[in-house]
Amino acid sequence: MKNCPQLLVFDCDGVLFDSREANRAYYEDICRALGRPPLTEEELRYVHMHTAEESVRYLFRDLPEKLEEALAYQRTLPYEKFLCYMKLEPGLKEFLEWARGRFHLAISTNRTTTMGRLLEIYGLEPFFDLVMTALKSPKPKPHPEALTVILEHFGVAPEETLYIGDSEVDLQLCRSVGVPLAAYKNPSLPADLHLQSYEDLRRFLSALPKKG
């Protein structure tokens, strides 16, 4: 990026929160209820990036006779009981305190019903101007709908935006819209910028000249 962005858009899982163990506990509850073995590492990576319905369909791809029952169970299983396993990424709040007022801040996530509660529990609500979930945008990532809505809401061009994500889904999303991607804790992901911490992001943004 040549100039400092006006808008920062964050993914949730793996970027704002380490949600690995929460996701594992949630989906293994479903697997146990339906008599399916625990998740493999590959399956855990998949559910990290996709919606709950997509994840259940994937987990029961070889058990079609149990799929509808699994989907029905998932719809009645509140993710809220697993939020205690979520871990706030180190340095996130300090970064948001610094960034608030300097940038527009938004979230684009494939989470559905739990995003609002998650922000409330961890005191992050005041920092974000707009939160797009898979409920607000029926076409989940990598479909560009949610990110396009965010850009239009703030009247900001793709090149004036930085998306902070960690997955192949985020990469596909950014490429489809033309938004630069900062890969968070994923050095193997092709991206415009690679970050290992929120201090890395702060230093990067602080060094960029303001447009105009």
The answer to whether 26 touches 82, Cβ cutoff 8 Å, is yes
Give me the pLDDT at residue 2, please: 82
> What are the residue boundaries of the structural domains of the chain, listed by start?
7-18+87-207, 20-84
- The CATH code belonging to domain 7-18+87-207 is 3.40.50.1000
Return the minimum-mean-pLDDT range out of 57-66, 129-138, 157-166, 197-206: 129-138
Cβ contacts of 47 within 8 Å, gap of 6 or more: 23, 27, 39, 55, 58, 59
Confidence of residue 48 (pLDDT cuts 50, 70, 90): confident
CA distance 186 to 182: 10
pLDDT tens string 145-204: 999 999 999 999 999 999 999 999 999 999 999 999 999 999 999 999 999 999 999 999
- Percent with pLDDT over 70 in the chain: 100
Give me the pLDDT at residue 212, please: 58
